[in-house]
Amino acid sequence: QKEVEQDPGPLSVPEGAIVSLNCTYSNSAFQYFMWYRQYSRKGPELLMYTYSSGNKEDGRFTAQVDKSSKYISLFIRDSQPSDSATYLCATLYNQGGKLIFGQGTELSVKP
Amino acid sequence: DTAVSQTPKYLVTQMGNDKSIKCEQNLGHDTMYWYKQDSKKFLKIMFSYNNKELIINETVPNRFSPKSPDKAHLNLHINSLELGDSAVYFCASSPRQGAAEKLFFGSGTQLSVL
């Protein structure tokens, strides 16, 4: 079992839709949870990070962590074609700096 | 101004050759990393250095040797390249060792071993 599981998709939605991206993780010791966005042929860029359980909102993006079920989510409201990318969830394994990534979900937002 | 830059962007080479990838960051960060992304987009850490000191070595074959001449540079040398080494290699940096949640990635080096 991978430490972080993510459905690779692809996921295709019409412009303006609400997108829900999800990951599960296996180790209850994980405390930091991140979402990265990766455009084609580019490096991942940090979208949001949260510490422990709860919600965090930034514009059209909301990150949600439920530690009781080991479930992390990213919601995108009013999705735009420019949101088309691969979205990677990640967790931080202790303070040593080892990020563990999910496989990434490929999202396509159609105009 | 590119924050984390790596060269070359593309690398095509024959099996058995030795090659290097260079990385530089101008963010003033203390910690640098090498990640490998396979064809299924799975991103996995290989090494991390903090102020030129090796911190993480994630059971990578010893054909891979990172070198950090100073905290702004982390190069990756690969000996005796194999077909399975084909992947995209990303350099990254973070402000300090304990701030890995704030990784900044370079744009990647696409390595193809023929």
Determine how many CB atoms are found less than 10 A away from the CB of residue A30. Answer: 21
Instruction: Please give the DSSP secondary-structure letter assigned to residue B23.
Output: E
Of the candidate ranges A5-14, A23-32, B104-113, the one whose mean pLDDT is the lowest: A23-32
Task: Find residues 21-60 of chain A whose CB sits inside 8 Å of chain B.
Answer: 32, 34, 36, 38, 41-46, 49
The minimal CB distance from A97 to the residues B31, B42, B44 is found for B31
SS3 A82: helix
Residue A101 at interface with chain B, using a CB cutoff of 8 Å: yes
Contact B104 A96 (CB under 8 A): no
Predicted local distance difference test score (pLDDT) of residue B41: 85
Q: Residue A95: which pLDDT band, with cuts at 50, 70 and 90?
A: low
**Beta carbons of A79 and A17 less than 8 angstroms apart:** yes
Residue A96, pLDDT > 70, answer no
pLDDT at A54: 85
Q: pLDDT means per 10 residues in chain B (114 residues)? A: 90 97 95 92 90 85 93 96 96 83 90 96
Buried residues in B63-94 as b, exposed as e (16+ CB within 10 A): ebebebeebbbbbbebeebeeebbbbbbbbbb
Residue A58: predicted pLDDT = 93
Q: Which residues of A touch B101 (CB under 8 A)?
A: 32, 34, 46, 49, 92, 99
- Look at residue B60 in the predicted model and tell me its pLDDT: 87
Structure tokens at B101: 């949640």
DSSP string, A44-87: -EEEEEEESSEEEEETTEEEEEETTTTEEEEEESS--GGG-EEE
Whether A9 has a pLDDT exceeding 70, the answer reads: yes
Per-residue pLDDT tens over the stretch B2-25: 799 999 999 999 999 999 999 999
Compute the average pLDDT of residues A3-28: 93
